[in-house]
């Protein structure tokens, strides 16, 4: 009882003297702690090079050439030799001609620079066009044709054809050719498979649609980021009369092809000094660039 009275007396005294502790002001609401963002595992094959440029509106469906390609020229040429009327990797004639070919375009970065060099040198080449990219840059396709180059089909969005059904393969080719016909005025009958993947079954399917399949005999390996001196060494080592030279005029998103552009004048100069002239694929093989009836 005595303790209760003492506590009551103290409370009354504090109330009278105004010394009762003031109620605490309510603290402003604190923001919720930030949720940690999911960490994406680093993948060096997809990391863009420093200062990489956007080479195209759309990426390659099957990935960069250097990550999607299995480089097996012996197997490809063996398949070509089984179907000599459909698949070509060089001219059968022993003449000092060479065909420059450029895959994966168009874009507005590297395709433009390559076209500028070819125009300056007075050379006509062959461009294997990705349909989705042609749709994004139709003016580049028109420039290619206006400057005397040949075009071929390189699929709609650059998948690996060995992983597609026959219906999907047909769709890739027909869709691209429909677009190219609207841009260039005819239906191309030249085709190069993405990543160079070629099997007897693919040849039968694609050849059955009326296409000529164009492989190559000289691989500059520009798709692997090869230094310019090494690109030149590949050309010197692999070129023979009637050779078809593989290069690229666009890459995967963020992929750089500056070495391709830098090496091109040297390739032209070297081959000219060796007595070569430059022709398109239809000129090299003495074939039409158009589907029958187009």
Nearest to 55 by CA among 116, 114, 108: 108
CA atoms within 13 A on the CB side of 188: 31
Catalytic hit among 103, 215, 219, 222? 103
Token pair recorded at residue 108: 């507005």
Q: Is the peptide bond before 106 cis (omega within 30 degrees of 0)?
A: yes
The Cα–Cα gap between 51 and 45 comes to: 16
Q: Which residues contact 263 (CB under 8 A, 6 or more apart)?
A: 220, 222, 228, 231, 232
Angle at 190 between CA 273 and CA 56, to 5 degrees: 80
Q: What angle in degrees, to the nearest 10, is found between the helix axes of 110-121 and 138-146?
A: 10
- Inter-residue contact 218 to 239 (CB < 8 Å): yes
- Inter-residue contact 158 to 130 (CB < 8 Å): yes
The Cα–Cα gap between 129 and 106 comes to: 7
Catalytic hit among 51, 81, 248, 286? 248
Token pair recorded at residue 75: 């197997």
Q: Which residues contact 178 (CB under 8 A, 6 or more apart)?
A: none
Look up residue 103 and give its DSSP letter.
E
Q: Is 103 in the active site?
A: yes
Q: Is 248 in the active site?
A: yes
Helix, strand or coil, per DSSP, at residue 68:
helix
- The residues carrying an active-site annotation are 103, 248
């Amino acid at each position: 009882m005595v303790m209760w009275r003492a506590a009551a007396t103290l409370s009354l005294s504090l109330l009278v003297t105004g010394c009762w502790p003031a109620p605490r002001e309510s603290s402003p609401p604190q923001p919720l702690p930030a949720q940690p963002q999911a960490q994406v595992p680093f993948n060096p094959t997809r990391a863009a090079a420093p200062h990489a440029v956007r080479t195209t509106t759309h990426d390659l469906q099957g990935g960069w050439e250097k990550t999607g390609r299995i480089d097996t020229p012996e197997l490809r040429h063996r398949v070509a030799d089984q179907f000599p009327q459909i698949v070509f990797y060089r001219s059968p004639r022993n003449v000092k001609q060479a065909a420059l070919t450029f895959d994966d375009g168009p874009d507005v970065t590297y395709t433009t620079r390559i076209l500028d060099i070819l125009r300056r040198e007075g050379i006509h080449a062959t461009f294997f066009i990705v349909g989705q990219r042609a749709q994004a840059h139709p003016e580049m396709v028109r420039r290619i044709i206006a400057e005397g180059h040949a075009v071929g089909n390189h699929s709609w969005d650059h998948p690996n054809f060995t992983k597609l059904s026959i219906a999907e393969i047909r769709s890739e080719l027909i869709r691209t050719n429909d677009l190219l016909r609207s841009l260039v005025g005819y239906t191309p009958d030249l085709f190069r498979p993405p990543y160079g993947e070629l099997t007897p079954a693919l040849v039968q399917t694609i050849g059955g649609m009326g296409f000529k399949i164009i492989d190559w005999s000289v691989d500059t390996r520009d798709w692997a980021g090869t230094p310019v001196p090494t690109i030149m060494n590949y050309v010197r080592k692999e070129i023979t009369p009637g050779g078809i030279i593989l290069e690229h005029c666009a890459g995967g998103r963020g992929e750089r092809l500056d070495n391709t552009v830098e090496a091109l004048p040297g390739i032209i100069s070297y081959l000219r000094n060796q007595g070569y002239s430059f022709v398109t694929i239809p000129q090299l093989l003495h074939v039409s660039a158009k589907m029958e009836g187009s």
